[in-house]
Every structure is written in C-alpha cells, then in structure tokens.
Amino acid sequence: MMKRAISTAGLSAAIGLVAAAASAQGLAGGTLALETSAFFEEGAIGHTSYSGGLQFDIGLGFGAAVDLASYGFSGFGADGSNATLHALYDFGPFVMGLDGAVVGAFVGRDDYEEGDAEIYGIEAAASVFGLRGEGYLAHHDGTRGGAAVAGLSARYEITPAIFAMGEIGFADADEEGALTRVALGGGYRIDGGPRLWGELGRIEAEDEAFGGDETFLAIGAEIGFGALSGTSFGTRSLFDVVPGL
C-alpha cells in the first residue's frame, strides 16, 4: 500500500511539474467527460468513468497533455483510477492529405484494489474527408502481469451537429488471455455545449479472459474547451478496454 501511494504520488507530481512548465507556453485545450454502461449478461448497471484532460502548447508543433480518470465498476463509486502523461507533435493542417495529424508517446498508471500497473506506448490521430481516426499501441505491466493493449477509434461528422462513431480495443494478457471489444454508436453536439453520445458494443473473450463475453450499452457526455475544443488524445488505460477488471 505504501509503495502504491508513493508511486501514485510520484506520477502525480511529475504530471504537475510538466503541466506547470507547459502552461507557461499556453493552454491549447481541455475536456471533461462522463460515461456509464450497462452490461446485459452480467445484469449490472453503473460501470462508470469520469475523466478530464488538459493540453498545452510548448512551441514549434510540440505539446504536452495530462489526463486523469476515475472508474466505478459496480455502481458510481471509485474502484480504479488512471493518470496519463502525453508528449506529442502536431504536424498542422493538411500534411500528406491529412488534416490535423498528431503523433505522440505516453506513459500512465492504473490503480485498482488488487494492485497497480504502468502503461506506456505510442499514439496517432488524423482527419480526412470528415473522418477523424485515432489509434494506439501500448504495453501494460503490473501486479497481474503484463498485457499488450491496442485500440482504434473513428468519428465521422455527418453534419456539424450529428456524428457517427466506432471503436475496437484489444488486450492480450500473460495470465488472463485475449479479449476484443467492438462498439458502434453516434451522437449529437449541442451548439456551444457538450457532445452527447451512445453506443452498443460487444466484448469477446478467449477462454473467459477478464471475466468472459459481454454485450453492453454505453451513454456519455463530453465537453471541450480552449482553442482545440478538447485534446488530441485521451486517457490510456486497460480499464477503457476491460471495464470491471
């Protein structure tokens, strides 16, 4: 417990120092989000996450971002948490036919009842013809062993207010096995306000990995602010692929 507290405090202090240094160059954007899910096979309601992030310009296309999230696996409490630090580079508008292309590297920490874990990896995002795509590759290493984690997501702007979205996540753990998460949905952006969205998804687990197969329905809201009206990337956590770990 003491080691966990010291490690968490260390990461939080590092995030605070980076944020303070980067803020001298200016806030680029931020976001606040809430999501809750219902799992049909498990018959559980209230798998909930609360998250927020800030992104800062450092200069010459370089930036830094910090994300914090809290996860409730059996109601609206706090059963797990994540802190993620990103270093990123923005290529600017229209590079090689892509708009708003951004690449980055990240390091984060998951904390939960049974222990803790570090997650680190690379990420990228870009837009083309109204479609915004994002992907990442990561390694998760902690109390319950190591895991390879990856994710792809996309959002298509049907109109300035209406959008469709989809995502796929993958986790392959040394001790648990492999799991794939797929979801499709859509949402509505209130003018000058938050984005509201919903999605229907399926989790397919190999040999009952991480608790087995599940069908889920999720709803959420997100509000962005600053010049970017949000951030380039979000939290990077095994909890986002495997809720209720």
* Residue, of 130 and 89, whose pLDDT is higher: 89
Q: Are 106 and 120 in contact (CB under 8 A)?
A: yes
Query: With 80 as the cut, is the pLDDT of residue 75 above it?
Result: no
The whole-angstrom separation of Cα 19 and Cα 67 is 11
The whole-angstrom separation of Cα 207 and Cα 136 is 25
Comparing 7-11, 61-65, 220-224, which segment has the lowest mean pLDDT? 7-11
What pTM does this model have? 0.84
